[in-house]
Amino acid sequence: MDNGESSYRRFLAGDNEGLYEIICTYQTGLILYLNSYVQNIHTAEDMAESTFVELMIKRPKFSGKSSFKTWLFAIGRNITAKHLRKLAKLSVVPLESQEYLADEQNVETDYIKSEQKRLVHQALHSLKLEYRQILYLIYFEGFSKEEAALIMNKSERQIKDLLFNSKKALKDELERRGFEYEEL
């Protein structure tokens, strides 16, 4: 049983400290993952908050078919997708045309420490949405391919193909930007 699952069980049993532990443990990773969808750190923070509110109010049942983190990120993805569908009906300006906010760099500064990491981050954000998401889930959050398949609602074969194509696209983009690296 992982920490998130045990904390959630404690929360469901009436110990509010359990929810606090879940928020402290998963908040930053969830925000950064959701940011790959919305391309706005403030919106991503709101969507992460909505995810935790959903846990608090609706208290969905955790079946244990995946890790707690996988389950939580899938809830966040679903809430964000619902939000984006609602925005698409209301908004005239496409999300892709929005400029990145300077505040986004402040939140991610701890995560992106060196100039090379910033270049990788910028190249990552120039990729297609699915490519950004799979790379983030596998390499930044440490999810397995099976867990990423659950989060992204895809088959494991689709995830393998997506991962292969996204790594190639990221490599091509980095080379286009003049990034030099040593292959292992």
Per-residue pLDDT tens digits for 75-134: 999 999 998 888 777 645 555 555 554 445 554 444 444 566 667 778 888 889 899 889
Portion of the chain with pLDDT greater than 70, in percent: 80
pTM: 0.62
Cα(76)–Cα(82) distance, integer angstroms: 10
